Structure 1
Amino acid sequence: MIDFSFPAELEDLRARVAAFVDGTVLPAEKQLGERPYWELVAELQPQARAAGLWCPFIPTEHGGMGLGHLGNALVQLEVGRSFSGLGGWALNCMSPTDATMLTILDHGSADQHERFLRPLVDGRSRVCFSMTEKNVAGSNATGLETTARLEGDTWILNGEKWFSSGATTSDLAMIIAKSDPDAPRHRQCSAFLVELPATGYRILRDIPVLGDVGQPAVQDEIVHGHAEVRIEELEVPAANLVGVRGDGFLVAQHRLGYGRLRHGMRSIAKAQAALDMAAKRCVERSMFGRRLGDLQGVQWQLADCARDLYIARLMVLHIAYKLENGDDIATENAIAKVFVADMLSSVIDRALQLHGSHGYSLDLPLARWYAEARGHHLIDGPDEVHRWKSGRRVIEAFERTGTTASVAGGDLF
């Protein structure tokens, strides 16, 4: 017998998180646009801590809840129903801070845990991730142009970064820069932690993006942003090197791997909300004397949405299960990243279409979600790169074993 049920303690945890989101976070979310975003976050965080809901993925000895990947996945599914991100910030598990905290935990030194991780876990600081560059293909993590040269016990960084999400509101930056251009390809870069603001780390602007459309905020408030950054003779103490010299690619991949799981769970939450809205519309709306939901063509659209959501849930939970057991998830993560992004865009698009012009308006959240969902085809690597890697693994698996089962879910059965 295959048991898909969760342990009682995880079901209880999910219920507690759901109750907190419904009773505390969602009412606060209604105040967005009238009150500053970070003021609401500051009110919510003590309430989450008092409820025992804080940093679900961080071990208890470092101040978190100590959940495994399955437990954290359930938390993210409930937190994801707060579509402004307030739920994530309330529990201190919002991107980009969450994944970077885990990276510092796993790759940072004891000194870095004390100086950088502790304030992050306590909610006293926020961190951004500066890797992407405008002149380098976003998928080419080994082709970065930002340089790092060692002078005595100080690293000097120079270059430009693009889409450093959250930099404008962060107190810390993790920067990936090329420290060893003549080393093997995956050992050329290193990772550095820089306290902000810092001389030599200059934010040029926050890049306007499609996902900003319709986002409620008080006038001139910076909620998140995707910064364009110029780095000029930025001095970084050698003690701020994360891991060892040449670990930059490893550190970056570690961080991005967790982020894809979190994005998957929250995408499922958003797609479920969109499908619920679509079903409600189909029940309440009549056309030519018949309910919209009684039309076969409409039922087919709803069926396709339910199918894709079902597949997405199984994919993401399987990845969480494999992470829980310490298994390699590279293949499954790449496949799921593309599928979940397609699923989210498709479900929201159908829900918007079924609402007609009302769905296209900003009176409903669907148009805003649609704009934001487009970014999921680019975030954490464009779809094309993940498809390329998955296809390459299919060929490699066949050449190695004579079957492609190992890269097509074959470990399930």
Structure 2
Amino acid sequence: MSIDFEIPAEAKAIRARVRQWVEDECRPAEQKLKDGADYRTVLAELRAKARAQGLWLPFIPKEHGGMGLGPLANALVQMELGQSHLGALSMNSQGPDDATMLTLLAHGTEFQKEKFLKPLLNGEKRVCYSMTEKAAGADATGMRTTAVKDGNENYVLNGEKWFSSAASAADIAVVMARTDPDAPRHRQFSTFIVELPNPGYIIKRDIKTMAIEGPLSQVMGGGHSEIEIRDLVVPAENLLGGEGNGFAMGQHRLAYGRLRHGMHNVAMAQRALDLATAHVTSRETFGKPLYQRQAVQFMLAECASELYMARLMLLHIAYKAEKGLDLRQENSIAKVFLAHMVHKVVDTAIQLHGALGYSQDTPLASWYTHIRSQRLVDGPDEVHRWTVGRNVIKAYQAHGTTASAAGGDLI
């Protein structure tokens, strides 16, 4: 008997459809934008086509207007969508909206689903997630934004937020704040839905980063905002998931975000390797085709190996998700690995392109400046390695072997 790596026919079929969609629709739309076409018009046309073809919200159940894909099929789809910066947007599968939609779907009241979730699912509005703070950094339990009950009707929030991705493009903000400083550490926080614009939710600036930005970066939701929250009044009916549940919901939300980042990293790395291979097979140096040089072949081999390992990680995690198994250890391992993998592959692709790769005549330079963030977002490398290392020790203490914390359930 052998381990079955066969992907179900229906999952293969939807992957093929999405792959063709990206090739036939998303990449040409990218070119339209480069040629000066209006972004909102291009995206609206792209989304209308996607919905007409049933390519909409791959991770959302069918009864809520989505494709109802399970973890494996969604992983395969996301690994295609990431090959174009319009891919996820075209199917309303972009971050940070996607994970927040799932949170609202799982924890929202009927009122909240009708008022806030429905327009997100329809692609009429966008949402941002305000959790991170300067003072807290990677420790979400260190946040200082407060929410105080004002009678029975409202909460009043005060504090600051940092790196609230897509806030400048959002119509709704989901904000985490401390509601009970005397509760156990992970029960002190609650989550609130805020309609934007709001005088109490002040976008001070979009933080400049090392990433190369284009004229459409902010309108596409690529910015990261610094927020001042000053006497922000939130109706009690906008409390999401009940008091004290903010931290748990946030961690569940981030878990999906880490996987989506990883899936898109695989897609970007694959496209980078394709670009590099196309380049070396069309170039000649010192009287010899570039691709015939052993050093070049070694570089391509290393990239292929990294991608192979990355795909196996994601497929195993998708398998565990399909079975309802605990995947936290694998998720942290993969999050770190995939962030380094995409950096290595894109960096190698730049090297193989020579000066052309360093220029902005290919997308590689822009990707390179953006992907450095992958080692920071949704928990920096060090936090995940710390968690993984602690689990290795716990496994040994419990079982006399570290196998269960190192993929040992595979063999």
Interval containing the TM-score (normalised by the shorter chain)? over 0.9
- Structure 2 unaligned regions, length at least 5: none
Aligned partners of 2:118 and 2:216: how far apart in 1?
A: 30
Quote how far apart the aligned CAs of 1:215 are. Answer: 3.2
Query: 2:154–2:233: 8 Å Cα contact kept in structure 1?
Result: yes
Which residue in the other structure is 1:59 paired with?
61
Using the alignment, how far apart are the partners of 1:233 and 1:191 within structure 2?
16
Q: What's the counterpart of residue 122 of structure 2?
A: 122
Contact between 1:36 and 1:217, CA under 8 Å: does it hold in 2?
A: no
The equivalent residue for 1:31 is 32
* Superposed CA offset, 1:209-263 (max 9, x none): 222x153539x85653111110001011111111121111111111111111111
- Partner residue, 1:142: 141
Corresponding position of 2:315: 317
Q: CA deviation at 1:271?
A: 0.3
Counterpart Cα distance in 2 of 1:175 and 1:37? 28
Question: Which segment drifts farther, 306-315 or 224-233?
Answer: 224-233
Say if 2:135 and 2:142, in contact at 8 Å, map to a contact too: no
Determine the structure 2 residue equivalent to 1:13. Answer: 14
- Distance in structure 2 (CA, Å) of the matches to 1:25 and 1:4: 30
Partner of 1:188: 188
Whole-Å separation in 2 of the counterparts to 1:244 and 1:216: 40
SS at match of 1:156: strand
Q: Deviations over 1:295-324 (max 9, x none)?
A: 222222111111111000000111111111
Q: Distance in 2 between matches of 1:155 and 1:237?
A: 6
TM-score by length of 2: 0.96
Shift of 1:35: 2.4
Q: 5 Å matches for 1:9-408? A: 9-33=10-34, 34-82=36-84, 84=85, 86-137=86-137, 139-152=138-151, 153-211=153-211, 213=212, 215=214, 217=216, 223-408=221-406
Q: From the superposition, tell whether residues 217 and 116 of structure 1 become closer, same or farther in structure 2 (CA, over 3 Å).
A: closer
1:215–1:368 Cα contact (<8 Å) kept:
no
Cα deviation digits, residues 342-367 of structure 1 (max 9, x gap): 00000111110111111100011111
Please tell me whether the aligned partners of residues 36 and 221 of structure 1 are also in contact (alpha carbons under 8 angstroms): no
What amino acid does structure 1 have at the position aligned with 2:140? A
| Contact 1:190–1:242 under 8 Å retained in 2 | yes
* Greater shift in the superposed pair: 288-297 or 118-127: 288-297
Which stretch has the larger CA shift, 274-283 or 173-182?
274-283
CA distance in 1, matches of 2:384, 2:38: 37
Percent identical residues:
55
Counterpart residue type for residue 241 of structure 1:
L
Per-residue deviation, residues 111-163 of structure 1 (Å, max 9, x unmatched) = 211111111111111100000111222x1011101111111121110001111
Residue 279 of structure 1 and its aligned partner are, at CA, apart by 1.5
The alpha carbon displacement at 1:205 in A equals: 0.9
- One-letter amino acid of the counterpart of residue 233, structure 1: D
1:40, CA displacement in angstroms?
Answer: 1.8
TM-score of the superposition, structure 1-length normalised? 0.96
Deviation at 1:282, TM superposition (A): 2.0
Q: Secondary structure at 1:81's aligned position in 2?
A: coil
Secondary structure at the aligned position of 1:284 is classed as: coil
Tell whether the 8 Å contact from 1:278 to 1:355 is kept in structure 2 after alignment.
yes
Secondary structure (helix, strand or coil) at the match of 1:235 reads strand
Task: Give, as a single letter, the amino acid of the residue that structure 1 aligns with 2:161.
Answer: K
In structure 1, runs of 5+ residues without a counterpart are: none
TM-superposed deviation, 1:387: 0.8
Structure 1 residue 180, shift from structure 2 partner: 0.9
Alignment check: 8 A CA contact 1:54 1:91 kept = yes
Could you tell me how far apart the structure 2 residues matched to 1:380 and 1:56 are?
A: 22
2 CA distance for matches of 1:303 and 1:222?
Answer: 35
CA deviation map 1:165-224 (0-9, x unaligned): 11111110110111111111111111111111112001111111222x153539x85653
Does the CA contact (< 8 Å) of 1:148 and 1:156 recur in 2? Answer: yes
